[in-house]
């Protein structure tokens, strides 16, 4: 047993040193970015930080309200707070670097910085895939089995789901970042993207990447299609239960809630599947950049609106918070 652990440790150390040697031998990458300096693109560029700032404020507000209001201390809102935290980190990983590159013209990024961006991005993106599946299970239990909710959605299970989401995302991020940057790269170090993303970086490799792409495809099936299937199954069961409701108003409200949730989930999973599961021969850099905007910038600003601010309990907590702030300001 000790010999096995020793050999695994030796292999991991040797692999790490090999990757570090490749990083040291590789010059910086150049991120070509999303916008040029025309008037129309300048307007679009201004919109991106504005949306990103709105996303940070909305998600930070969600975390604050869930933390402050005791009525929101439930598994559902705990998972929602984790989603908000992931969205804040996701926006912070991509947008500041993109904005700095556009404003300063310094578009270079080191191999280590590129690897770190891939790791953080995939940790958050992969974690969010599993977290959305956990949230859909929570809603299924709440709607279809309300009396058994404390048992079927206990705090212990909720914490395991949250920790599992972070862990599986981090494992995928670490594997793909290390594998992507272990390839030797050609003389062209220009990345036609606004951040380091594994599929785009693989195009620059001067080695056979077929095996890696096959493994990455399998990972995408596990990280994207399996959670998305669980989401669809959960909401299908919810809709089936909704159809049996006698109240027309209750059915209408439930349909509106489910459709809004599924639209955001579909936007996130659909964009991720488009980027990570298309064959290499069908890839277009411009299409990849546009689609990546949806799940790195637009989805994080929609989540607090769809999952939070349309919720009566969250709106009640917001009113309570605002009244407390108003009282403190008068004092």
Per domain, the residue ranges of the chain are 29-319
pLDDT given at position 59 = 93
Please tell me the predicted confidence (pLDDT) of residue 119. 93
pLDDT average, residue stretch 293-309: 85
Between 167-171, 188-192, 279-283, the lowest mean confidence (pLDDT) is in 279-283
Highest mean pLDDT among 166-170, 198-202, 203-207: 166-170
According to CATH, the superfamily of the domain at 29-319 is Rhodopsin 7-helix transmembrane proteins (1.20.1070.10)
Q: How many residues does the chain have?
A: 331
pLDDT at 23 over 60: no
- The answer to whether 180 and 111 are in contact (CB under 8 A) is no
Using one digit for the tens of pLDDT, what is the confidence trace for 207-235? 888 888 888 888 888 888 899 999 999 99
Give the pLDDT score at 79. Answer: 92
| pLDDT top residue among 276 and 230 | 230
What's residue 133's pLDDT?
Answer: 93
Which structure tokens are listed for 17?
A: 């040193």
DSSP assigned state of 189: -
User: Is the confidence at residue 283, as pLDDT, over 90?
Assistant: no
Q: Comparing 307 with 59, which gets the higher pLDDT?
A: 59
Q: Is the pLDDT of residue 263 over 60?
A: yes
Cα–Cα distance for residue pair 292/197, rounded to 1 Å: 10
What is the DSSP code string of 115-129?
HHHHHHHHHHHHHHH
List, for residues 129-140, the tens digit of each pLDDT value.
999 999 999 989
Quote the CA–CA distance of 39 and 320 in Å, as a whole number. 43
Cβ(176)–Cβ(216) under 8 Å? Answer: yes
Task: Tell me what pLDDT residue 128 has.
Answer: 93
| pLDDT of residue 111 exceeding 60 | yes
CA dist., res. 17 & res. 233, Å (int): 44
């Amino acid at each position: 047993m000790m010999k096995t652990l020793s050999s695994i440790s030796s292999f991991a150390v040797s692999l790490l040193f090999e990757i570090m040697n490749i990083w040291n031998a590789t010059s910086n990458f150049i991120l070509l970015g999303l916008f040029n300096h025309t008037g129309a693109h300048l307007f679009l560029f201004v919109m991106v930080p504005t949306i990103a700032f709105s996303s940070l404020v909305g998600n930070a507000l969600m975390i604050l309200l869930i933390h402050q209001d005791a009525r929101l201390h439930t598994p559902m809102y705990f998972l929602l707070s984790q989603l908000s935290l992931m969205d804040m980190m996701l926006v912070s990983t991509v947008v500041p670097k993109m904005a700095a590159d556009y404003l300063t013209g310094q578009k270079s990024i080191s191999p280590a910085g590129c690897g770190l961006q891939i790791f953080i991005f995939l940790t958050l993106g992969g974690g969010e895939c599993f977290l959305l599946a956990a949230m859909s299970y929570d809603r299924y239990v709440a709607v279809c089995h309300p009396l058994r909710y404390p048992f079927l959605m206990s705090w212990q299970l909720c914490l395991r789901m949250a920790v599992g989401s972070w862990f599986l995302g981090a494992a995928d991020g670490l594997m793909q970042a290390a594998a992507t940057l272990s390839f030797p790269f050609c003389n062209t170090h220009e990345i036609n993207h606004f951040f380091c993303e594994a599929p785009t970086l693989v195009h620059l490799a001067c080695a056979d990447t077929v095996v890696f792409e096959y493994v990455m495809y399998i990972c995408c099936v596990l990280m994207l299609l399996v959670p998305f299937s669980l989401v669809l199954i959960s909401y299908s069961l919810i809709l089936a239960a909704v159809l049996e409701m006698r109240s027309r108003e209750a059915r209408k409200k439930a349909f509106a809630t489910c459709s809004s949730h599924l639209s955001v989930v579909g936007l996130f999973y659909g964009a991720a599947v488009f980027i990570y599961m298309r064959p290499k021969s069908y890839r277009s850099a411009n299409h990849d950049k546009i689609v990546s905007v949806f799940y790195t910038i637009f989805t994080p600003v929609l989540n607090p609106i769809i999952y939070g601010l349309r919720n009566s309990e969250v709106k009640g907590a917001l009113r309570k918070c605002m009244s407390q702030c108003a009282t403190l300001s008068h004092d």
